[in-house]
Amino acid sequence: MSARYFGASVARSEDARLLTGQGLYVDDIEMPGLLHVAFVRSPMAHARIKSIDLASARAMPGVVAAYTMGDFADLAEGPMPPMAPHPLIKEPLTCHPLAQTEVCYVGEAIAMVVAQDRALAESAAMAVMVDLQELPGVADARAALATDSAPVHLGRDSNLLASLHTKFGDVAAAFAAADHSLTESFATHRGGCHAMECRGVVATYDQREDHLSIYTSSQAPFMVRRHLATYLARDEQTIRVAAPDVGGGFGPKATVYPEEFAVALGALKLGQPLKWIEDRQEHFVATNQQRDQFWTLDVAFTKTGKILGLKGHGIHDSGAYAPYGLILPGNALVCFPGPYALQAIDIHLDVALTNLVPTSPVRGASRPNVAFILERIIDKVARYLGLSRDAVRAASFVRASQMPYFTGGVSRDGSRVSYDSGDYQKALDLALEKIGAADFATRQRAALKRGKLLGLGLASCVEDTGIGPFEGASLRITPKGKLVIATGAAAQGQGHATVLAQIAADELAMDMADITVEAGDTGRFPLGLSTVGSRIAVTAGSSVHVAAQKLRSKALHFASLKLEVSADDLELSEGAVQVKGVPGLKIPLADIARALAGTTGVPLPGGMEPDLAATAYFESSGVTFAYGSNACEVEIDAETGDTRVTRYVVVHDCGRMINPMIVEGQIRGGVVHGIGNALFERMLHDEQGQPLTTTYGEYLLPMACEMPNIEIHHLETPSPRNPLGVKGAGEAGTIPAAPCVISAIENALEAQLGKAAPFITHHPVSPLDVVDWLDDAQ
């Protein structure tokens, strides 16, 4: 393989369209007869639905229809199918497309109105009379598990959805052997995804062909098709689901949503195309969030700072339903023990139902929460022993010589967790060097003269990426000699069209301009799973590589028959197969494609299979573990508590990089998301479950003025687990960012307050927290 494109920061194929306003997002889709949907949503966190009266809404001008779930009884009934069934979930805990008898969170859809335009639909939705009998609800996951808590769902006797457990080694022996142990409790909070494009659905039903077509702003169009087909008892072949341009995903768009089903049901019922575009207000109450995990852990360690064991227990807020099964809490347990070689762990996690919008992964998916806890524990042990934070990490890291390293834990697929490759210590050393840890004290003293408290933060992490079983790809040369790559893997800004073309272009010696990528459309590729867990470079990337090799062999075989030359003496060059060293003797790929397209009555040469095309489903042979260390500096204004991240260094290893520019974009965006989790993003509800932060004036996202430039240094340890040597990079920035920033805040306070400095156990940290800590200590 000539590496012309692989490894180069090639400008993205997607950009010209997106820069000129020619993108096609769901709300850009227009079609004749398109009608608009608005939903009636619950204003209460928990209530019994006594009645729904649609008469006034139906009578309003421009209103075409109004529906409750009962109106769809001829098409489907019951709760939506679970996306990820789990043996611990005994009864289905998914919602109905439209709630029928009970609502369990503010924002749950109850009815829908279809009108000539959205404004009319919204006005009519306000005229729907819903009689609700308010029921006691619970908004805090800890309170939900109390024996006297109100039930989140009527008829359930407990709000405990499941108790998860992970253990390896002999934890009692690890604690017995330790010189020290201590206990800490943590509250980690993550908000929502806040993709700049809210969700949206367009559904059309063609009665003559009995075919349902859906455009949705989704990370998982194939999952939408699968579950909708199940729900409607239709064959998958009668449903097409496509994700067009999607304006950001970040996790929550990987869930199949009630609105997708309700809009599809409406289109089937009316036989007219329907569009629903979520507005930002709805996004705050109806799109999955991640929110809270609470943890209490005991850590055992030696006097030299080597962590030996961890035990303890956590509580995870599932929200009112479990549309994504137990994947989000389950991920948390897989994330222990992070980059550290521990003798033993024994950790429980209780999954609590609450009367809040459901949770599902947000960028990082529990990994940032666990990284926060582990990194905080490391910092705590350092303080306790009077050692440096890097010394405790150094004493505890998995070493390069131990790779592949079996942690002792078990993956989601039941296999033993093994870290494939890398040098964790080297990443930390480089991060310390690049941030200038050696002369940090000088900068800290200088800052103090300006009245600013300067702190240095550190955090390390591993990230399991590239989970299987597959994302496939098919490659086909068109009669014009162009290459079309089709894959199930939908994109939401990650640059799949560019990186997949880079891989194929090298293998087939083609120009990237001659390659197009069709992704995330069930009408163009038979199977797909979803774009989650930093998995597409590994899965779809490897499939493109394998398919390109097959296609190359086929082209060479055809040419060897035609030119009567051994395939070993042939090569691909500039869209043709040529005899090595004889550029004049060649057959263009276009000619081969036309020949293999066949002519009636004429046999194909040498009994070859038709079509110059190849398909591959690379089967992942094990999770690839990316890793890294981050270091940052924060500057705190002691008067106001204003906390700025002034410098940020990332050392990261995601194996071989297909496109370093895109990798760096993923990391930078991820870090900024993590800084948001450290300092700004807080989704608040009152005790009754009423959301309190439902505008961008109340829920703060990271903005340009507050964000630092992020300096990135790469290590490139090829993964042995796929032919490209790649690992995922989509979440690596987010995972260590919050603990890194919090570590820096604590470091700044420690310099000022000494032993009176707080040990910080929660995020986000607000200016008010900082001022309180400074005041309390003085």
Partner 1 sequence: MKAMLTLKVNGRELSGEAPNNMHLGDFLRHVLGLTGTHIGCEHGVCGSCTVIVDGQPVRACLMLARQAQGATIETVEGLAHDGQLSVLQAAFRNHHALQCGFCTPGMLMTLTAFLRDVPNPSEEAIREAISGNICRCTGYQGIVEAALAVATPQEASTS
**Residue number with CB closer to partner 1 (364 or 481):** 364
Q: Which of residues 493-552 bind partner 1 (CB under 8 A)?
A: 493-495
701 is an interface residue for partner 1 by CB under 8 A: yes
**Ordered DSSP codes for 666-691:** HHHHHHHHHHHHHHT----B-TT--B
CB of 646 to partner 1, least distance (A): 13
Q: By C-alpha distance, which of 591, 541, 579, 452 is closest to 728?
A: 541
Residue 305 or 733 with smaller CB distance to partner 1: 733
Among 235, 709, 755, 778, binds partner 1 (CB under 8 A): 709
The contact mask relative to partner 1 for 127-166 (x = CB under 8 A, - = no) is ----------------------------------------
Cα 26 from Cα 198, distance rounded (Å): 10
> Which range touches partner 1 (CB under 8 A), out of 402-410, 450-458, 567-575, 661-669?
661-669
459, 609 Cβ separation under 8 angstroms:
no
State which of residues 50, 156, 165, 280 lies at the interface with partner 1 (CB under 8 A): 280
In whole angstroms, the minimum distance from the beta carbon of 600 to partner 1 comes to 41
Residue 452 in the binding site for partner 1 (CB under 8 A): no
Output the DSSP codes for 323-341: TTTTHHHHHHHHHTTTTB-
The correct pick among 5, 6, 14, 641 for binding partner 1 (CB under 8 A) is 14
Binding partner 1 by CB under 8 A: which of 18, 160, 387, 604? 18
- Does 8 bind partner 1 (CB under 8 A)? Our answer is no
Identify which of 346, 363, 249 has the alpha carbon closest to the alpha carbon of residue 300.
346
- Helix 367-385 vs helix 389-396: angle between axes, to the nearest 10 degrees? 110
User: Distance between CA 481 and CA 212 in Å, rounded?
Assistant: 33
Cβ(521)–Cβ(225) below 8 Å: no
Judged by CB under 8 A, the residue of 3, 16, 446, 527 near partner 1 is 16
To partner 1, the closest distance from the beta carbon of 497 in angstroms equals: 12
Helices in 397-455 by DSSP H: which ranges?
424-435, 440-449
- Neighbour count for residue 654 (Cβ, 10 Å): 32
Measured from the CB atom, is 358 or 495 closer to partner 1? Answer: 495
**Considering beta carbons, is residue 211 or 714 the nearer one to partner 1?**
714
Residues 231-270 that bind partner 1 (CB under 8 A): 245-250
Q: In terms of CB distance, is 9 or 402 closer to partner 1?
A: 9
**Between 17 and 399, CB nearer to partner 1:** 17
Residue 298 pairs in a beta bridge with 183, 311
For residue 720, cis peptide bond before it (omega within 30 degrees of 0): no
| Edge-to-edge order in the sheet of strand 570-573 | 570-573, 576-579, 582-588
Phi and psi torsions of 34, nearest 5°: -65, 130
Q: How many residues sit in the footprint of partner 1 (CB under 8 A)?
A: 58
Residue 80 C-beta: closest distance to partner 1, Å: 27
Select the span of 73-81, 195-203, 220-228, 312-320 touching partner 1 (CB under 8 A).
Answer: 195-203
Residue 450 contacts partner 1 per CB under 8 A: no
Cβ closer to partner 1: 400 or 701? 701
The pair of three-digit structure tokens given for residue 445, joined into one six-digit string: 């003293």
Nearer to partner 1, 493 or 691 (CB): 493
Taking the complex as a whole, the smallest distance from the CB of residue 364 to partner 1 amounts, in Å, to: 14
Whole-Å CA distances, 168 to 82, 174, 409, 623: 30, 11, 6, 19
Q: How many CB atoms lie within 10 A of CB 652?
A: 30
Task: Report the 10 Å Cβ neighbour count for 281.
Answer: 14
3-state secondary structure (DSSP) of residue 103 = strand
Subset of 716-755 contacting partner 1 (CB under 8 A) = 733
- Give, as one character, the DSSP assignment of residue 583: E
Using the rule CB under 8 A, is 635 a contact of partner 1? no
Residues with Cβ within 8 Å of 156's Cβ and at least 6 positions away in sequence, in order, are 353
**How distant, in Å, are the alpha carbons of 18, 246, 453, 752 from that of 23?**
5, 9, 45, 51
CB of 365 to partner 1, least distance (A): 16
Per CB under 8 A, 28 contacts partner 1: yes
Sole window of 67-75, 220-228, 463-471, 691-699 interacting with partner 1 (rule: CB under 8 A): 691-699
630 binds partner 1 (CB under 8 A): no
Tell me how long the chain is: 778
Q: Which residues contact 449 (CB under 8 A, 6 or more apart)?
A: none
Angle at 674 between CA 641 and CA 138, to 5 degrees: 85
Any contact of residue 600 with partner 1 (CB under 8 A)?
no
Instruction: Note whether 25 binds partner 1 by CB under 8 A.
Output: yes
Least Å distance, CB 194 to partner 1, is: 6
User: Is residue 32 at the binding interface for partner 1, with CB under 8 A as the rule?
Assistant: no
Binding site for partner 1 (CB under 8 A): 11-12, 14-23, 25, 27-28, 30, 119, 193-198, 245-250, 279-281, 492-495, 661-662, 664-665, 668-673, 695-697, 701-705, 707, 709-710, 733
